[in-house]
Structure 1
Amino acid sequence: MKFLHIENTNPKQTVSKICILTCIILLIFTVTTALLKINRYKLPSTAFGDLKEPESLPSASVKKCDIFSGEWVPNPEAPYYTNTTCWAIHEHQNCMKHGRPDSEFMKWRWKPNECELPMFNPFQFLEIMRGKSMAFVGDSIARNHMQSMICLLSRVERPIDVSHMNDFSFKRWKYSSYNFTMANYWTPHLVRAKKMDSNSALFNVYIDELDETWTTQIKDFDHVIINGGQWFLGPIVFYEKQKVVGCQYCDLANMTHSNLYYGYRKVFRTTFRSILSLENFKGTTFLRTFSPSHFENGLWNKGGKCVRTKPFRSNETKLEGYDLELHKIRLEEFKVAMKEGRKKGLKLMLLDTTQAMLLRPDGHPNKYGYWPNENMTLYNDCVHWCLPGPIDTWSDFLLQMLKMENVRSISTNMLHR
């Protein structure tokens, strides 16, 4: 066999080639073993259908696939939990409890254009996260996301409440069997902000100052997921270097109307700076992108509603207006931060849910987040997401990203031995 013929070959070259070949074999063996270890966790049958385990974990072809570009396709087996089997659903996202008459909005899955996206496997997720921690940082959509994940994980284990305070905006849960901690930090503007007064909807937002309610808490977390968006569309006075630099919808005398995009860009720049400057922080930061609202026939406070009962196709709608501009700003600031993070040995990853959620006008509570006879002024909710619902797919995305990152980490470690 020619590849074993070493006649007239320098002995040092031969040893070098053998070492390289040995390293390649060890790398293949180690990665394969790790994948098999993760993949052995099978899902049990449930009353809502079997959640089938993928035959294999990420391959070279999946690495080239953009999992965030695709379409929603029917999934008759869903959902994998219900509002009666999950205790963690916030009242205003409990759409079935409050009388939503249709249920087809729960029976879809995301299909990337170039590959398959495996359904969320709670056993795999908890095994990957064994001994680790994850923080959801942002507005109430971040809390919505965490509640969705708790529901998906509920088939494996119910977590213990280990919160440091009695405030649902700052919850901490521990999965004892896996030593996995999950926490939520409510910070709707990401930076320091406060109401102008208790009776006002107007916020003072300090676009160059950190919000220490979360920046002082996350340095020990292994994974941090940040988001922000909807709260920047309300009344705001922007401060920079302790001085007013403008406002929007503030209706104050002698006040310059500020460009939303300037303030929004500065906020994300400050947010990434706060993470990259954390001493001893070694975790992975995920930027989860903007989740568009779907008000039709009026603004949120002008009778707007979301009554559709099935997803859009990708050719039926597109990102535009402020949704598009805010999305661009996030991506631009993320790319800058990612380059800076690499210099410090920090990982930043993009959880780009915007396109998938743009296609789901049917997934919001609308008027089914409260009882119709409640004696108060209530608006239709076309911002948050019903549980179960489309937001459960965010965990599909996240788990796939974690599995791919595990494969890359194993490969990198082997190559540097």
Structure 2
Amino acid sequence: MTSAYSRDYSRSSNYRRVASSIAILGVLLTIFVTWDSWFILSRPNRLVPTNYIYGANLAEDSDSVVSQEGGHVAKPDHDDESEVEMELEVDASTGETEPVRNQTESSEGSDSSDCDLYDGQWYYDPEGPLYTNNTCPILSQNQNCQGNGRPDKEYENWRWKPSQCELPRFNATKFLELMSGKTITFVGDSVARNQMESLLCILWQVEVPRNRGNRRMQRWFFKSNSVTIIRFWSAWLVHHTTEPFSYVPDGITKIHLDVPDETFMELTPKSDVVVFSNGHWFPKRSVYLLNNEIVGTQLWNSPENLAMNITSTEAYEISTETSLTALATHSNYSGLTIVTSYSPDHYENGAWNTGGSCTGKDRPLFPGQVVEHEYTNIMHDKQTAGFHQAVKKRTNESKLKLMDITEAFKYRHDGHPGPYRSLDPNKITKRDPNGRPPPQDCLHWCMPGPVDTWNELMLELIRREFEGNQNSAF
């Protein structure tokens, strides 16, 4: 017969065993939860979070995003004749060999067709560019930064991310399909050439085009989809001449602000897409005319001491309105006109010819690091005003779109050739003992580089238009 003591002892032992088991299970559960949380949190993301640049929150200081370009007036680093020759010359590129990226992913995927493409931030994409300087044989040597000896490459990996939607990587196959049987024409200065060559470099990876151009005009033809890409020089977008006029002697450029450039007006009405990009030649020495009357001068003093009312920035607004209105009212033009907004330069402590520099810039600017540059902002505002005036005057079935890259590209002081603008093995790339920087290009963009983003934005505008996602003229 079991005693009462034995029964109590047995019951107590059972309780202790149950309590011990519960405690062990609790410890094991705690360990599992802790390990699982650590594992999830420690897994690296594929891309840097889009609202951060190296930990700097762009959303916290969006109103402070301005331009670090010094207090100078940006000027082209070449004269008229040499620029025309450079524009028409086709250079072979050199550099390291890297595999060509497979371009099969879709160009579709925007969350909303009316998303603001220009409100966003830069993020680091380890996938890198769609081409290299060694896989694009028509890349101008001045923009071949790797071939010219630039030691860093991180500037090639930063991509633009709109705040409210996705901007797909450029899909060359999609572009050729959308532009099947069509012509796209780039009109403007050397920055327009920069964008056009970027487009060609990307498309070259899926198809080698036929060169049908000449010294007057570049023309490339992609046989698979019968796509033609044209580019020709028009720095002011309006008629200009160096012949004597009134009291202005030969050799001074006379710019007729109210007369569109007859060269591009011969061809652009036949185009399906026209891309304008200019503005950097207005600081050049010139005389401005309206109705065949001199109304302003730039870097040239009138011997007549007449009052001049038109400045270089106002001339930019008038010429923009004139050229865009000419297309928007042309009876035979029904295409898509895309205006690439004023491209910021990043010369610091001077202009291109007064010691300005962007040496050693290898990452995008952080919010709060940029410094307001009044000239760039004025040029952007004047160009935008001219654009809006042309939109109001539109009488045909064409569409006008402003591709407003100015604000976003104020961050990209790292994307210029700087001192790596030539192949010269003896070129100077560092400051001299007195601190003077070497001659450099802080206006154009390295290729591959930030300028490739322009064509991603352009493709999205074309996709929206040709796939019927937008019906408005603006």
Can you list the C-alpha shifts for 1:96-127, whole angstroms capped at 9, x where unaligned?
11111111111111111222211100011111
Number of the residue aligned with 1:70: 120
**1:49: Cα distance to partner?**
5.1
1:271 pairs with 2:318: no
Task: Pick closer, same or farther for the CA change 1:54–1:231 going to 2, 3 Å.
Answer: same
Q: Tell me, in whole angstroms, the C-alpha distance in 1 between the residues paired with 2:252 and 2:468.
A: 46
Number of the residue aligned with 2:370: 317
Residue pair 2:242, 2:251 contacting (<8 A) in 1 also: yes
**1:318: Cα distance to partner?**
6.0
Can you list the C-alpha shifts for 1:352-382, whole angstroms capped at 9, x where unaligned?
111222111111111111125479xx94111
Q: Tell me, in whole angstroms, the C-alpha distance in 1 between the residues paired with 2:165 and 2:108.
A: 13
Residue pair 1:48, 1:77 contacting (<8 A) in 2 also: no
Number of the residue aligned with 1:385: 445
Return the match for 1:116 from 150, 166, 171: 166
Number of the residue aligned with 1:300: 352
**1:279: Cα distance to partner?**
3.0
Number of the residue aligned with 2:265: 215
Residue pair 2:333, 2:397 contacting (<8 A) in 1 also: no
Aligned residues: 358
Return the match for 1:132 from 167, 178, 182: 182
Aligned residue for 2:152, secondary structure, equals: coil
Q: Which moved more, 1:330-339 or 1:362-371?
A: 330-339
Q: Which moved more, 1:212-221 or 1:257-266?
A: 257-266
Number of the residue aligned with 2:68: none
Return the match for 2:341 from 283, 289, 308: 289
Q: Give runs of aligned pairs for residues 23-172 of structure 1, distance below 5 A.
A: 47=99, 53-54=105-106, 57-58=109-110, 61-163=111-213, 165-167=214-216, 170-172=217-219
TM-score, scaled relative to structure 2: 0.70
**1:80: Cα distance to partner?**
1.7
1:183 pairs with 2:233: no
Q: Cα RMSD between the aligned structures?
A: 2.5
Residue pair 2:123, 2:161 contacting (<8 A) in 1 also: yes
1:344 pairs with 2:396: yes
Q: Tell me, in whole angstroms, the C-alpha distance in 1 between the residues paired with 2:425 and 2:283.
A: 27
Number of the residue aligned with 2:407: 355
Aligned residue for 2:339, secondary structure, equals: strand
Q: Percent identity?
A: 34
Return the match for 1:193 from 216, 229, 240: 240
Task: Pick closer, same or farther for the CA change 1:311–1:410 going to 2, 3 Å.
Answer: closer
Q: Tell me, in whole angstroms, the C-alpha distance in 2 between the residues paired with 1:63 and 1:172.
A: 31
Task: Pick closer, same or farther for the CA change 1:406–1:314 going to 2, 3 Å.
Answer: farther
Task: Pick closer, same or farther for the CA change 1:51–1:161 going to 2, 3 Å.
Answer: closer
Number of the residue aligned with 1:394: 454
Task: Pick closer, same or farther for the CA change 1:121–1:55 going to 2, 3 Å.
Answer: closer
Number of the residue aligned with 2:383: 330
TM-score, scaled relative to structure 1: 0.80
Aligned residue for 1:135, secondary structure, equals: strand
**1:278: Cα distance to partner?**
2.3
1:406 pairs with 2:463: no
**1:273: Cα distance to partner?**
2.3
Give the unaligned 5+ runs of structure 2. Answer: 1-97, 429-437
Q: Which moved more, 1:403-412 or 1:381-390?
A: 403-412
Q: Which moved more, 1:326-335 or 1:185-194?
A: 326-335
Task: Pick closer, same or farther for the CA change 1:216–1:397 going to 2, 3 Å.
Answer: same
**1:221: Cα distance to partner?**
0.5
Q: Tell me, in whole angstroms, the C-alpha distance in 2 between the residues paired with 1:56 and 1:147.
A: 23
Task: Pick closer, same or farther for the CA change 1:176–1:122 going to 2, 3 Å.
Answer: same
Q: Which structure: larger Rg?
A: 2
Q: Tell me, in whole angstroms, the C-alpha distance in 1 between the residues paired with 2:337 and 2:107.
A: 29
Q: Tell me, in whole angstroms, the C-alpha distance in 1 between the residues paired with 2:380 and 2:146.
A: 31
Task: Pick closer, same or farther for the CA change 1:399–1:191 going to 2, 3 Å.
Answer: same
**1:52: Cα distance to partner?**
7.0
Q: Tell me, in whole angstroms, the C-alpha distance in 2 between the residues paired with 1:132 and 1:328.
A: 32
Return the match for 2:419 from 356, 364, 367: 367
**1:338: Cα distance to partner?**
1.9
Q: Tell me, in whole angstroms, the C-alpha distance in 2 between the residues paired with 1:212 and 1:55.
A: 36
**1:267: Cα distance to partner?**
0.8
Q: Tell me, in whole angstroms, the C-alpha distance in 1 between the residues paired with 2:302 and 2:155.
A: 43
Task: Pick closer, same or farther for the CA change 1:162–1:50 going to 2, 3 Å.
Answer: closer
Number of the residue aligned with 1:30: none
Aligned residue for 1:215, secondary structure, equals: helix
* Aligned-partner residue type, residue 323 of structure 1: T
Q: Tell me, in whole angstroms, the C-alpha distance in 1 between the residues paired with 2:304 and 2:267.
A: 38
